[in-house]
Amino acid sequence: MAEITPGNPASSPLPKDHPPVQFGKVGVLLVNLGTPDGTDYKSMRRYLAEFLSDRRVIEVPRAIWYPLLHGIILNRRPQKVGKAYEEIWNHEAGESWLRTYTRNQSDKMAGLLSDLPNVVVDWAMRYGTPTIGSRIEALLKQGCEKIVLFPLYPQYAAATTATVNDHAFRKLMEMRWQPALRTVPPYHDDPVYIDALARLIETHLASLDWEPEMVIASFHGIPLSYFQKGDPYHCQCQKTARLLRERLGWSKDKLMLCFQSRFGREEWLQPYTDKTVEALARQGMKRLAIFNPGFVSDCLETLEEIAGEAGEIFTHNGGEKFTHIPCLNDTEDGMRVLETVVRRELQGWV
């Protein structure tokens, strides 16, 4: 990195009182969804208010949504969800696992890219902290004229990928001197990702002393209406599951795709994970495994809703053995996936 400061030699083309300029670096900004700063009512309310005010997440007209959000949801939900977060909190670090894993992914990515001295790696959250805007500013201060913006979701959804991109570009709207920004496309069908998922499943299953009759690939859902309006998310989830079946040599009966985490009264993408788990147990299935290919890190939705709740639904309805396969997180295979994507997007810039 070069620095031009006031007091440059008389031969410098810049006037002596020219403001300091840092330049010559490329930033990589890993962005995940977000997480509350604590499990208390205030932190939860602040987080949910930001999340659920995002028009990319809730597409209901504001005149209908805001009275509901501020009148009912933000009064009741923070306490309920705070309790759920409390159960899966990384108490040692005093933060959620999503934040721990995202920071680890950033630190490990910096190590993996150490052969590229001009690259600076950082991380941010779409909701909560550290904000995307603050980390873009920090990258600029370090001399990044170009930034690779990586919404960490393997499958594109307007509610996740697009809102990260929107938010970053809103930050750029404030700037006189903008960096060049490259947004990372979804990687739902990347062979490195599919292979990492397959190995994750194989290794986990090999560690058990029983074999599941079925493995469910459970993706976060979206309202059916978003899909009908043209969101490619559903198709990308289907493709991930199909490629994974092909890689594992499994049938549809062995690897089933479901959608979890419904919110509100609208119909969401089906089949629903909770209803499917209940039905399978009632039909006599005894051994079940679930994993979450769409989540780059374990979080509330995987640890509490799947490892916790879905497991309980299965055993309460007659199932005997249940296992949740953890996400790729900051494992070696997981980092290989992220590194492959980042190196591809850095091409021509380093």
- Known binding residue 70? Answer is no
From candidates 103, 234, 245, 262, binder to Fe ion by CB under 5 A? 234
- Does 233 bind ligand L6N33NVT (CB under 6 A)? Our answer is yes
User: Least distance in Å: CB of 34 to ligand L6N33NVT?
Assistant: 6
User: Segment contacting ligand L6N33NVT (CB under 6 A): 48-56, 162-170, 208-216, 333-341?
Assistant: 48-56
Task: List, in sequence order, every residue forming a beta bridge with 203; answer none if it has no partner.
Answer: none
Residue 55 contacts ligand L6N33NVT per CB under 6 A: no
Q: Which stretch binds ligand L6N33NVT (CB under 6 A): 175-183, 296-304, 310-318, 330-338?
A: 296-304
Does 263 help bind ligand L6N33NVT (rule: CB under 6 A)?
yes
- Distance from first CA to last CA of the chain, Å, rounded? 13
Binding track, positions 100-129, relative to ligand L6N33NVT; x by CB under 6 A: ------------------------------
Q: Under a CB-based contact definition with an 8 Å cutoff, are residues 291 and 217 in contact?
A: yes
**Residues facing residue 143 across a β-bridge:** none
**Neighbour-count burial of 127, counting CB atoms closer than 10 A to its CB (0-12 exposed, 13-18 middle, 19+ buried):** buried
Q: Which stretch binds ligand L6N33NVT (CB under 6 A): 52-60, 171-179, 197-205, 246-254?
A: 52-60
Residue 301, marked binder? yes
Which one of ligand L6N33NVT, Fe ion, none interacts with residue 235, CB within 5 to 8 A by kind? Answer: Fe ion
Rule CB under 5 A: is residue 14 a binding residue for Fe ion?
no
Helix (H) or strand (E) holding 163: helix 163-172
Q: How far apart are CA 290 and CA 303, in angstroms?
A: 11
Q: How far is CA 194 from the centre of its chain?
A: 17
Pairing between β-strand 214-220 and β-strand 180-183 as defined by DSSP bridges: unpaired
Q: Which does 258 bind (CB under 5 to 8 A by kind): Fe ion, ligand L6N33NVT, none?
A: none
State how far the Cα of 292 lies from the Cα of 257, in Å rounded to an integer.
10
Contact call for residue 341 and ligand L6N33NVT (CB under 6 A): no
Partner from Fe ion, ligand L6N33NVT, none binding residue 263, C-beta < 5-8 Å depending on class: ligand L6N33NVT
Nearest to 34 by CA among 139, 159, 136: 159
Report d(CA 349, CA 346) in Å as an integer.
5
Residue 294 as a binder of ligand L6N33NVT (CB under 6 A): the answer is yes
Distance in angstroms (rounded) separating the CA atoms of residues 298 and 287: 22
> In terms of Cα–Cα distance, which of 102, 124, 121 is closest to 111?
121
From the list ligand L6N33NVT, Fe ion, none, which binds 244 (C-beta under 5 to 8 Å, kind-based)? none
Rounded Cα distance, 293 and 296, in Å: 7
For residue 125, give both structure tokens.
């959250």
25 binds Fe ion, rule: CB under 5 A: no
Residue nearest to Fe ion (CB): 235
Within 8 A by CB and 6+ apart from 164, the residues are 31, 126, 132, 149, 151
The amino acid at residue 89 is W
CB of 267 to ligand L6N33NVT, least distance (A): 12
User: Which residues lie near ligand L6N33NVT (CB under 6 A)?
Assistant: 33, 35, 48, 51-52, 57-58, 77, 81, 96, 98, 153, 157, 159-160, 220, 222, 233, 261, 263, 294-295, 299-301
Q: Which residues bind Fe ion (CB under 5 A)?
A: 234-235
Which positions make up the binding site for Fe(2+)?
220, 301
